[in-house]
Chain A
Amino acid sequence: QKEVEQNSGPLSVPEGAIASLNCTYSDRGSQSFFWYRQYSGKSPELIMFIYSNGDKEDGRFTAQLNKASQYVSLLIRDSQPSDSATYLCAWGSGNQFYFGTGTSLTVIP
């Protein structure tokens, strides 16, 4: 069964701290991995994607992929109150994208 497991949280961090979000997946055939941010009442928006083992950095965001351990994580440095949202991880295989249930993040001013 193709599953994506996320710690549903909620996760609270103080402003300026590092927020760490984690996701594990079940299908070793997974090829592309995505992090989406979803504000309450809004649709998901892409933060970044990763397809190679290792780290990928984009501004304050770093995605980390470990295919051997089947996990992908997202680090948010210098967290801001505007980062408060639900973060969805997803992976792609075949012609489908599978989403986790999301992790709710609150950044406390």
Chain B
Amino acid sequence: GAGVSQTPSNKVTEKGKYVELRCDPISGHTALYWYRQSLGQGPEFLIYFQGTGAADDSGLPNDRFFAVRPEGSVSTLKIQRTERGDSAVYLCASSVRSKIPGQGSPGANVLTFGAGSRLTVL
């Protein structure tokens, strides 16, 4: 698509429930990132995909969080047993990138963000 698309835009759930957040990146972008942004904070890295594989999941806060990208395009972030502290805006970003930022074309390392999915856990 023309931009990064995220659904749902808003999700309200109860503590303990399971949620899925979907991201459809820009067509042709091989790299996909998930970030979490709390009020007044900058985006916090969660996980990064290069193609179908999770190249770096070191930002996932615990094992309740999981993400997949089975066909190298759309990604789903899954949160089990949600807690009130999970409430935040979940941002997805995609880019066409070289393996190491800053090498090759810097322009290839630019993140384009989706509009985000606002998750509220009651």
Contact = CB atoms under 8 A, between A and B. Distances in A.
A6 B42 CA distance: 10
B106 A43 contact: no
Interface string B89-105: 00100000001111100
A59 interface: no
Contact size range, B: 20 to 34
Contact of B41 (A46, A90, A94, A101): A101
B42 A101 contact: yes
A95 B98 CA distance: 9
A95 B48 contact: yes
Interface string A39-66: 0001111100101000000000000000
Interface string B43-56: 11100101000011
Contacts of B33: 97
A46 B43 CA distance: 14
18 contacts: A32-B101, A32-B109, A43-B91, A43-B113, A43-B114, A44-B43, A44-B91, A45-B113, A46-B110, A51-B106, A88-B42, A92-B101, A95-B50, A95-B101, A96-B48, A97-B111, A102-B40, A102-B41
Interface of B: 33, 35, 40-45, 48, 50, 55-56, 59, 91, 99-103, 106-107, 109-116
